[in-house]
Copies of this chain bind each other. A is one copy, B any other.
């Protein structure tokens, strides 16, 4: 198999890997995410990282497989969503992008859409494909915690349904930009997290009343900032788990995500009697792109 390039191109960041027969041989990343680029700027941003990895001019094109928001309407080129139920990825769905540099053969993996309840993903479908490559035949639920957490129900190798929660973005907005920021500090407290989680799970109807109390407890009872932060996280993950109950109840669940955040979700799921293994998100992305590479080959 010829060397190729794997790219995870999100809203905020661009990450690229030179791929050899045994996996990554080099890695680069830049802050040139989709959100900061006009369509004509993507190629240069890619070359900044990947040019050293391209084959010599007379040795033909180098394949670049990219996933993520690069395929959004505001991205390099729109890669139309594939509608669930379907396999997470499909080499036939890849969209080729025209480039100025003749050494590049860039293809973008489309995201998934669900008509009702309306939902979309871009990038996570590749992680799901990678996770399924690592656990062939897995039937159950993947949870991908993050800015926009996703829950996906997998059966017979297909994504049957999925659901997005703005948990990470809500946490960032509330802890960093709302009045609650005055009551937050770095650090963590597991008990405070568990309290918030339990409050939200047992009385989801009261979630809106719980938020301002973090500020009031800081003012009146000197609630430490690290406790307020952990309790906020517990409340938000709790209300996500309340909503996602039809996904995780009675199902095997695996987490795909950053280790600290995934550990919080695993802790939360454990209170509901679930043991959730944590898979590394980057490893899943690379396995998913490598699977596409393999399918292109055959």
Interface residue ranges, A against B (CB under 8 Å): 73, 81, 113-115, 117-120, 148, 163-167, 169-170, 173-174, 177-180, 204-209, 211-213, 215-217, 219-221, 236, 239-240, 242-245
Contact = CB atoms under 8 A, between A and B. Distances in A.
Given A220-B115, A220-B118, A212 B166 contact: yes
A119 B118 CA distance: 37
Nearest to A242: B205
Contact of A204 (B170, B205, B220): B205
A173 B179 CA distance: 11
A148 B204 contact: no
Contact of A220 (B120, B211, B212): B120
Given A177-B173, A178-B173, A204-B204, A209 B163 contact: yes
Nearest to A206: B243
B243 A113 contact: no
Nearest to A237: B208
* A interface secondary structure, majority: helix
A177 B178 CA distance: 11
Given A148-B179, A207-B204, A211-B166, A217 B118 contact: yes
Given A207-B243, A208-B239, A221 B165 contact: no
Given A173-B177, A205-B243, A165 B118 contact: no
A204 B4 CA distance: 48
A249 to B, nearest CB: 12
Q: Residue among A164, A180, A212 with the most chain B CB within 10 A?
A: A212
A223 to B, nearest CB: 8
Contacts of A113: 216, 219-220
A216 B116 CA distance: 10
A216 B58 CA distance: 44
A240 B205 CA distance: 8
Nearest to A117: B213
